[in-house]
Amino acid sequence: MKSAIPDTDASARDGAQARSPWRVLRLAAPIIVSNLSVPLVGLVDTAVMGRLPDPAFIGAVALGAVLFSYIYWGFGFLRMGTTGFVARAFGAGDGDAIRALAARSLLLAAGLGATVLLLQWPIGMLGRVLMPASDGVETAMLEYYGVRVWSAPAVLANYVLMGVFIGMQRTGFAVIAQLVLNLGNAALSAWFVLRLDWGIGGVALASVVAEYASLVVGVLLLMPAIRRVPGHWPVGRLLLSARGYRELVVVNGNLFLRTLCLITAFAWFNAQSAALGDLNLAVNAVLLQLLHLLSYGLDGFAHAAETLVGSALGARDARAYRWAIRSTTGWALGTALVYSALYAALGSAIVALLTTIEPVRSLAADYLPWLVAMPVVAVWSYQLDGIFVGSLRSADMRNSMGVALIAYLLASLVARPALGNHGLWLGLAVFFVARALTLARVLRRQPDGESPQAG
């Protein structure tokens, strides 16, 4: 592959050219630890609801989580876009740019968070229309939503802070903020529901309290992280630069559309699960927690790819760019194989920990083979996402996800009538494969490091 950037001796800060495989692990391991605490919240919420006598509560948490995926994951570009831009600035040693990106992104997050609060009622009603379920599930879901929506400003600001920390390779700071959020959320969920008997509203309130606590910790950590690179905070016209916001809007707009397609895929999965009945919905809600456990583990190496690829591009070092892709992908594949082995050996035991409802446990066993296969099927799309975020190739990510969504919807529409719930899981596998194939095709066609800023 012909290189579009020179093999220079210039290096990104903190040794971006140090090509030991352990460098990847040092970057990825803290993110994996913190990311694994994210599905822990879902696991605890599912387990807490699974102790209640009605499986409708499990389904309500699942559908409520999908609704917040549209609200919060839809703004995930605040994390991804910030990481890509900051990683490049960090590789170039541009402290002024890092500060400007952080400030502008935080202002953007504040505005978007306020907008969500103003539109909370129509958003909730739209979720009710798009994800119809039984009366019990719907009532509980709306109660969950009405409380948790107040975390919106904190959630979006935390996305920005995570992007800054990862882009600057301060994964330790990212871990601290995430652990405050996720472990606090899990502990409060168990306390509010099992001890205080606040029901599904207690689960939602735990999320709100934990998000604002994490925001406070993140802001306190931001200052020492920024001080690593000399520079000045933007003021006046520089802070409100139209050009600076235009770059954010172009890249983040593409990432928003990409994420919207991703969320739609999982919303479709949950809606189709609900159409198969409360029992199938509860089973898939439990198994999706295991899939999220996989995704957050693999994302550790995808995040490592984001910062290493972006830093290499900022330093204009093609060798570091190629090394970042090879090394992070190797680690990710090895981790995926470990996940498959664990799910094959312990899948039934994990399901038993999540729910005491025997029909859910029994039916879930029929679909565990899908969880065993998913790590090896999905690892390629996760890793390619990381490479493309670091390269700021947001338009390619948008296009790839759109193609994958179409393939997924067609596959599930054909397979579900014939195979039932197995058809839904087959469609999900098609979705992961289509994402990987389309991104891999683009990566092979483009020269090393070619990634337009606005793309």
Please, which residues have CB within 8 angstroms of residue 132's CB and are 6 or more apart in sequence? 138, 271, 274
pLDDT of residue 4: 40
* Residue the block writes with tokens 């899981």: 425
d(CA 237, CA 348): 58
pLDDT of residue 238: 63
d(CA 50, CA 220): 37
d(CA 304, CA 299): 8
* Residue the block writes with tokens 């947001």: 394
d(CA 2, CA 163): 30
- pLDDT per position as a tens digit, 356-391: 788 888 888 888 899 999 999 999 999 999 999 988
* Residue the block writes with tokens 């990987």: 436
Chain length of the chain: 455
What is the separation of C-alpha 227 from the centre of its chain, rounded to a whole number of angstroms?
27
DSSP three-state, residue 420: coil
Structure tokens at 148: 């948790």
Q: Tell me how crowded residue 22 is: count the other CB atoms within 10 A of its CB.
A: 10
267 touches 288 (CB < 8 A): no
For 135, counting Cβ atoms within 10 Å of its Cβ (0-12 exposed, 13-18 middle, 19+ buried), the class is exposed
d(CA 367, CA 212): 37
Q: Tell me how crowded residue 196 is: count the other CB atoms within 10 A of its CB.
A: 11
pLDDT of residue 383: 93
106 touches 184 (CB < 8 A): no
Q: Bridge-partner residues for 317, per DSSP?
A: 7
Structure tokens at 396: 């390619």
Q: Is the pTM of this model over 0.85?
A: no
Residues in the chain with pLDDT < 70?
1-21, 34-43, 45-46, 50-55, 69-70, 133, 236-239, 241-242, 446-455
pLDDT of residue 127: 77
d(CA 109, CA 158): 9
The angle formed by the CA atoms of residues 396, 95 and 450, to the nearest 5 degrees, is 25
